[in-house]
Amino acid sequence: MSRDDATGRLDWVDVAKGICIVLVVMMHSTFGVERTIGTSTSLHGFIDWARPFRMPDFFLISGLFLAARIDRPWRAYLDTKVVHFAYFYVLWLNIQFAMKAPAMVRELGLNGAASAYLLSYVQPFGTLWFIYLLALFFVATKLLRDVPKPVVLIGAAILHVLAPHTVSLVVDEFADRFVFFYAGYAAAPLLLALADRIAHQPAPLLLAGLTVWAWVNWLGVESELALAAWSDLPFAFAGILAVITSSVLLARSGRGRALAYCGRHSIVIYLAFPLFIGPTRVLLLKVLPMWLADMAALVTTAAGVIGALLLFRLVRDTPMGFLFVRPKIVASITSQPRAM
């Protein structure tokens, strides 16, 4: 497997993260267009097709290299895995809330908007729930590190199948997603060995397997079998395997460089893409006819990804770099800025 000697990163892992973040931006862009025009686009079927594996794969990869850090002292661990994400959550919560505050004040009144803002510290705001959950997953996994991994994995799978629906988004999403994050941590040696084995298989064989998987996944989505909490785990893990296979193929062929770049900056994109998809959608839907709504969704997706990356490049060596790099002044135990 190709590895960057300077950073120790595996190319296929970055490609896989790139695939996931592009799918996430595409989902939000497409749904935004559909809400505006009041009807579904032809991309809706693809968004549903990717649902069984889109976020599960993102969480699994987030836990993939945790074993190398989980035995650090709590102080250093909390700095890198909790304070780090808490900083970016609070910062971007305020940025996103400021964008939406005028509309919220008109709809809810000043007191209602203020209550919604305060609630966002216990009930994740908008797209930022992923950042919020990551910090909780890192803490939960360290707390459980002395429990046999199969026991935790079975318990997490049971939580997922039970699919609680409470008033707390944190509780519901934790129950739904923790099994994937923990699987990335617990099965990391197996997954990395599997990726290495895949890398040595002939491309036609792998492409044939991906074709069969894509068809089976489509059947599962069409029948809603892959979307039911009691039956979606096999589809999710099959999709994760498919993303790994696709990523290995793309990395091996040299065609995954753009996706790998997106993957290396996936959190940057996740934080900043909402700044760009809204204005782009509004502009496009004013000038494009409704039958080009699919194009509007695709261009909006590109604007979200490229806009976030350009913003990162523009601010990273300026006083505005704090948008994506935690400053030393913010409770950094290591006294070093941490890039996303």
Token pair listed for 78:
């909390």
Q: How far is it, in rounded angstroms, from Cα 101 to Cα 94? A: 10
Angle at 55 between CA 53 and CA 60, to 5 degrees: 85
Q: Which of the 8 DSSP states describes residue 10?
A: B
Amino acid 124: pLDDT: 92
pTM given for the model? 0.92
Burial level of 303, CB count in 10 A (0-12/13-18/19+)?
Answer: buried
Amino acid 335: pLDDT: 46
Token pair listed for 45:
């079927």
Q: Which of 248, 282, 332, 273 is nearest to 23 (CA)?
A: 273
Domain coordinates in residue numbering, the chain:
11-339
Amino acid 226: pLDDT: 86
pLDDT digits (tens, 9 = 90+) for 62-80: 999 999 999 999 999 999 8
pLDDT band at 306 (very low <50, low <70, confident <90, very high): very high
DSSP string computed for 186-240: HTHHHHHHHHHHHHTS-HHHHHHHHHHHHHHHHHHHHTTGGGSTTTHHHHHHHHH
Amino acid 271: pLDDT: 96
pLDDT band at 328 (very low <50, low <70, confident <90, very high): confident
Q: Between the CA of residue 117 and those of 99, 101, 113, what are the distances in Å?
A: 12, 9, 6
pLDDT digits (tens, 9 = 90+) for 134-174: 999 999 999 999 999 999 999 999 999 998 889 899 999 99
**Mean pLDDT score, 24-53:** 95
Q: Please state, rounded to an integer, the average pLDDT across all residues of the chain.
A: 91
Amino acid 103: pLDDT: 87
3-class secondary-structure state, position 3: strand
pLDDT digits (tens, 9 = 90+) for 94-115: 999 998 888 889 888 889 889 9
Contact 203, 250 (CB under 8 A): no
